[in-house]
Amino acid sequence: MVFGINSQSVNFSMKDDKTYRSNDTAQTSLTVAKGYFTVPKAGKLEVKVNATTDNGNLHLTIVDNNNHHYYQIDGDDLKDSQKLYFKSGDYCIRITADAYTEKVVSLDYNIKVNS
């Protein structure tokens, strides 16, 4: 994870490749990523999402400290690019995956939030 925060911009990126084995994927839902970023001033941020898995569904949410959902997308492959309005404050990015039928799952995700 890379954080670059100042009074004018917000940068958050998260990229990883992971392989989960049968004892990990025996659960119906698996947390595959979690990251935080801070918005010092209210404004629009560009959110680019690209996440894929070889099996199961991915769910991505961005929530604030009060668990208010600012952004959510769901699907096998998550591909989206939007400009969203965020108030100043701290936010959490969560990615979960579910409905696995295979014993080994390879996950590749890439998320960037830039002002």
- Cα–chain center distance at 41: 21
Buried b (16+ CB within 10 A) or exposed e, 49-87: bebebebbbbbbbbeeeeeeebbebeeeebeeeeeeebe
Q: Which residue has the higher pLDDT, 32 or 4?
A: 32
pLDDT tens digits along 15-59: 888 887 777 767 778 888 899 998 888 888 889 998 888 778 899
* CATH architecture observed for domain 2-114: Sandwich (2.60)
* 12 pLDDT more than 60: yes
* 112 pLDDT more than 90: no
- Cα–chain center distance at 17: 14
Nearest 5°: the CA angle 111, 65, 26 is 60
Q: Which residue has the higher pLDDT, 76 or 93?
A: 93
pTM for the structure as a whole: 0.79
